[in-house]
Amino acid sequence: MVEIRGIEFQGNTDNAMGLEFYNLSHRFGYQAPNWPYFKDVQIERTHYMAKSGVLSQTLTHTMHVTTHIDAPAHVVPKTPFIDEVPLPHFFGSGLVVPLPKEKWEPITGDDLEKACGHAVRENDVLIVNTGWHHEYEDGDYFAYCPGFVQSAADWMVEKKIKVVGHDTQANDHPLATAIGPQRNGPLLPHLADEYREWSGGRDWKDDFPDWEPVHNTLFRNGILGIENVGGDLDAVSGKRCTFAFFPWNWDRGDGCIIRLVAMIDQGQHYRIEAGESF
């Protein structure tokens, strides 16, 4: 048992179910790290103890802040909204794959095959740990993350991955988004010269000619993406876990903040109820 503000609770790794629970989500709240053109999270205490005897807060924010899942409709027109995705898509077993990457490095299909190709199963949840969740702060995290490229998306389709999560800013490399030369970008135009120097003289428009190709490939094939994974990610890296990450039942939602949780049952004594009548 753990005591929190005078109340006792069952612990994450010591509870009556015999399960281990690991939080893989970043914090959400005041001044949460944010994508370069999103409005800041706003929180108003509509009611508070001195005024009303209860605490009630009003939130104004995008759903694409902190750890969240994108609906296909976020990027691809005429595809499912978050409330239309069947519930089994938000629960399942899979892998947490350690795959260290540096600034702007691509995550390729070959990388994934070498890291977990021998262990991945059809309909797995795949969580990739590049190490960048340690950089999740208001600053360079969003501009300089590594990211998936087209071959990684093709690999996930071939392996029939159900959901992919990662500790980076988007399902694509940041320079394949509006941070770079794509669509409404560049949001950060100074990165053009920096990329040319980093890459040995290449132009980012040549290296990233397509807008969010990984988003498009995944979503058109029914694979959802969880962005900004964090929390206790290192504690479960290299392990097979069960994951739960249910979004709101938001009518025509383009995505949703989630509490991504990894669960391990070392004793193998817990069961999901069979639904017998009582």
- pLDDT digit string, tens, across residues 101-132: 999 999 999 999 999 999 999 999 999 999 99
Query: What is the average per-residue pLDDT within 174-203?
Result: 97
pLDDT tier for residue 29 given thresholds of 50, 70 and 90: very high
Predicted confidence (pLDDT) per residue in 95-106, tens digit: 999 999 999 999
Q: What is the pLDDT of residue 7?
A: 87
Tokens of 101: 């990457």
CA distances from residue 274 to 20, 190, 277 in whole angstroms, order as listed: 22, 58, 9
Q: What is the pLDDT of residue 152?
A: 98
CATH number of 63-262: 3.50.30.50
Residue from 156, 166, 164 nearest 131 by CA? 166
Q: What is the pLDDT of residue 210?
A: 97
Predicted confidence (pLDDT) per residue in 133-148, tens digit: 999 999 999 999 999 9
Could you tell me what percent of the chain has a pLDDT over 90?
Answer: 95
On the question of pLDDT at 86 being above 90, the answer is yes
Q: What is the pLDDT of residue 24?
A: 98
On the question of pLDDT at 37 being above 90, the answer is no
Query: Cβ(247)–Cβ(90) under 8 Å?
Result: yes
Q: What is the pLDDT of residue 1?
A: 81
Report the alpha-carbon distance of residue 138 to residue 34 in Å, rounded.
7
pLDDT tier for residue 151 given thresholds of 50, 70 and 90: very high
Report the alpha-carbon distance of residue 185 to residue 183 in Å, rounded.
5
Query: What is the average per-residue pLDDT within 55-80?
Result: 97
User: Which residues are within 8 A (CB) of 187 and not within 5 positions of it... i.e. 6 or more apart?
Assistant: 36, 37, 178, 179
Query: What is the average per-residue pLDDT within 57-70?
Result: 97
pTM: 0.96
Residue from 190, 189, 213, 193 nearest 203 by CA? 193
DSSP conformational letter for 89: G
List of E strands, the chain = 2-4, 7-9, 20-23, 42-47, 56-60, 68-70, 91-98, 106-107, 125-129, 147-148, 163-166, 224-227, 240-244, 255-257, 261-264
Query: What is the average per-residue pLDDT within 216-240?
Result: 98
**Using only C-alpha atoms, what is the Rg of the chain?**
20
Per-domain boundaries in the chain: 63-262
